Structure 1
């Protein structure tokens, strides 16, 4: 049956029916001469049932009566000649055939949505709202050049940027409250693509003094009191992991999540810290703080671009995603994003 469904889903015929002021796209799925036809409504209903794990829950989100939705599912199974869902008292779970239909069907429905969007804006400037979630430290670097570039290239696209810590942004992405986002880690959720966007260098900052070393080892650093973000913060977790990898722990004097406050505390002698190089560039240049490189090959933090794969992506979202990559490449090229490098170590973004 899996082979049969593969053939079914690999052949898609699209009929464009143009009307006076609008057009509609009518998808027809032909089961290779079997005379069995499906439309995207059947696929959407099935996918929502699978997502909710319950016909009752899906009927609420779809606004379709439960008996009617159950009938749609039975008809779909009859058309394909195989069960797609195991019915249980607690809900439904996909069969092997159902899992295959979820995988292939979601791509088809998403592609149809993108096709409608692309055709509707064909011959005109792309338009729409694109919502982006960014950590505050990245937003401070990326937001202005991205918005400026988008305004110049795509004047009808509006970019809305929401700032927060990575944990909150991950939740926003899962709830579809942002269209794409940048995180300091892989999102680790199904339905998303995580692309390694860049790596940034982490450095040691300490109170400016004559005897400060250009390079410092983590072992030596562990003997100093440190001002670090609190546990659970992505940067703190990375720092703790690196210390633990060599069998030691950081000596923490104070915990605070604000980079500005960390720098102020370090400048006033409360301890050393570890932050991204770009976050301390101004203080390094003015001599307010002393910046040292970490020995043992240095310490780097990965930055990921997160985009959805479980739902339709508009033309505006695709264009802004590509523009974001270009802007990041330019920021690294011009050393505006200090201490950052692209994944392959090159300057030009692939």
Structure 2
């Protein structure tokens, strides 16, 4: 069993295809098949079900996958650290950012980082908090911006900033005359919400559960301009972070009663090697958060 076999095995498991794995790895498909066959022979186990074109792991394959991912990630971390000890100056940062922050908080920070570190490439992945957390744990991301709710022990975090989640309504809505909005009042209205898996939606789902009500969601979209437009025209109300609403928006924001504050953090795997490029990004982003 060697690292190449395990790398091929992980790719096949994640893509459910020998052909796609070979394309991703940049090798010939027969070489991938031979490597996996040898791995199975060396272990004396069948790791992959091969039924027609449907590829799936056996129970033994699923057990090996847990170890293989960790071994491949540790090997990549070790190689990267050794390269940097030789004076490796270029690098890549793979960071996951929720769309609300990616649209309104991070653009100037990302541009400023690129200006200071022009030789470091940035790969920004947009997604929901739960999705980004899983990608971090699987080694698909180096860093991820997530809401500090219930975090697994496998992740290390550093706080970026705190933001209030506000009720957002049209300027002529009844709530515009109120100072605060209770959950009971909020859930009587038709809502414009992000899709499931995004922290914006998770907070509201949790609030509805605590209030013992079912949210009346009329529109679901992750497009912030569309959420604003629907809300401005009075077809529903929504919730957003304070930073998202500007003076140009024809919208009114009100605090919940009690108010809802979110701690936004940047996270990374505890057991991983954080490259110099990632360390530079982490320090830069946290520095911006302290300036707010």
**Does the TM-score normalized on the shorter chain lie above 0.5?**
yes
SS for the counterpart of 1:115 is helix
Cα gap change, 1:287 to 1:57, in 2 (>3 Å): closer
Q: Decide whether the 8 Å contact of 2:96 with 2:127 is kept in 1.
A: no
State the distance in 1 between where 2:66 and 2:206 align.
39
State the distance in 1 between where 2:71 and 2:220 align.
48
Residue matched to 1:200:
163
Cα gap change, 1:240 to 1:102, in 2 (>3 Å): closer
| Candidates 224, 242, 248, aligned match of 2:213 | 248
Q: CA deviation at 1:292?
A: 1.7
Q: Decide whether the 8 Å contact of 1:205 with 1:292 is kept in 2.
A: yes
Residue matched to 2:283:
322
2:117 is the counterpart of 1:157: no
State the distance in 2 between where 1:319 and 1:43 align.
29
Rg larger in 1 or in 2?
1
State the distance in 2 between where 1:263 and 1:256 align.
11
State the distance in 2 between where 1:101 and 1:262 align.
43
State the distance in 2 between where 1:108 and 1:133 align.
21
State the distance in 1 between where 2:271 and 2:37 align.
23
What are the within-5 Å matches in structure 2 for residues 240-319 of structure 1? 240-252=205-217, 254-280=219-245, 282-283=246-247, 288-296=250-258, 298-301=259-262, 303=264, 305=266, 307=268, 314-319=275-280
Residue matched to 2:112:
148
| Candidates 206, 216, 219, aligned match of 2:184 | 219
Unaligned runs of 5+ in 1: 1-40, 78-83, 335-350
State the distance in 2 between where 1:208 and 1:65 align.
61
- More deviation in 302-311 or 141-150? 302-311
Q: Decide whether the 8 Å contact of 1:128 with 1:157 is kept in 2.
A: yes
Q: CA deviation at 1:242?
A: 0.9
Q: Which has the higher contact order (CA 8 A, sep 6+)?
A: 2
Q: Decide whether the 8 Å contact of 2:133 with 2:144 is kept in 1.
A: no
State the distance in 2 between where 1:149 and 1:155 align.
8
Residue matched to 2:193:
229
Q: Decide whether the 8 Å contact of 1:204 with 1:293 is kept in 2.
A: yes
Residue matched to 1:121:
87
RMSD between superposed Cα atoms in Å: 4.8
Cα gap change, 1:247 to 1:319, in 2 (>3 Å): same
State the distance in 2 between where 1:256 and 1:304 align.
24
Deviation digits for residues 266-291 of structure 1 (CA, Å, limit 9, x no counterpart): 344444322111112x23xx794332
Q: CA deviation at 1:228?
A: 1.2
Deviation digits for residues 194-249 of structure 1 (CA, Å, limit 9, x no counterpart): 746455321112344697222221112233x3341255362234313312321123
